[in-house]
Amino acid sequence: MAKKNPSKASKEKRQKKEGLERSVAEEGDGKKIKKSEKKKDKKEKKVYDLPGQKHDTPDERDPLRIFFETLYRQLPDNELAATWMMEWGLLPPDEAKMV
């Protein structure tokens, strides 16, 4: 098998990409659709019950959860462990308010 010339390969990629762009632009009765006109799906922001929580609570067997829970039990004054546990919803509400 002969190797393709790098310039030919990049030219083929550009042609494929342009072909895809044309097919997207031709949708909708031949009208061109601009990127700015497309509606983007926005994710709904989750609201959590605990103060300071930003993420869903991880599973009990999650390695990071095990690490930070152990660290927090051993060193309750550790700011990193307390912040991580608060953001992931693992601290009780009264302790989360203090962090």
DSSP characters over 73-96 = HH-TT-HHHHHHHHHTT-S-HHHH
d(CA 26, CA 20): 10
Query: What pLDDT, in 10s, does the model give residues 35-74?
Result: 555 566 788 888 999 999 999 999 999 999 999 999 999 9
- Model pLDDT for residues 46-55, shown as the tens digit of each residue: 899 999 999 9
- pTM to 2 decimal places: 0.57
